[in-house]
Amino acid sequence: MTESRFLRLPVNPDEGFPQSFRLSFDGRNYIVGLQVTIAEEVLPDVAAPDGLSALVSLPGDGAFLAVTVVQEGSVSDVTLLRRKVIPGMVYRAGELALVFRTIRIALGNLHGFGRWGSEVVAGVALS
């Protein structure tokens, strides 16, 4: 799948994590959920000079981003994908292909919103 076929997913890191959003793509509706898990023992020190702006690159030891994709249906919703992601890998979710390029999460965006410097770059295309 060529890189130019991917459109940017509307992830808004300033909204914090976990987060979910509705995605309308190719005439279908999906709910995309993003959950960040960082083990307490690998968390940067909040009292350090960069505090809540301290970034954690994912995945790492004890730290990962999990994505869930649910296709909305007329009778019931269908979960198409639920897994931890690795940057650069293409994941199939039904007729969708997802790729995550950059995943850096600021401590301030763990269960909190604001411009702390988190960055998640991800794309979607038809598989």
| pLDDT tens profile 30-89 | 999 999 999 999 888 777 778 899 999 999 999 999 999 999 988 899 999 999 999 999
Residue 110 inside a domain? The answer is yes
Q: How far is CA 124 from CA 25, 40, 87, 100, in A?
A: 9, 31, 13, 9
**Sequence letter at residue 6:** F
Residue 83 inside a domain? The answer is yes
Instruction: Please report the pLDDT score of residue 2 as a whole number.
Output: 55
CB 71 within 8 A of CB 50: no
Instruction: Please report the pLDDT score of residue 45 as a whole number.
Output: 76
Residue 48 inside a domain? The answer is no
Extract the tokens encoding 69.
Answer: 């994709």
Instruction: Please report the pLDDT score of residue 118 as a whole number.
Output: 98
Q: How far apart are CA 94 and CA 78, in angstroms?
A: 10
Domain limits for position 61:
3-42+53-126
Residue 47 inside a domain? The answer is no
Share of the chain above pLDDT 70, in %: 96
Instruction: Please report the pLDDT score of residue 101 as a whole number.
Output: 98
| Cβ atoms < 10 Å from Cβ of 36 | 22
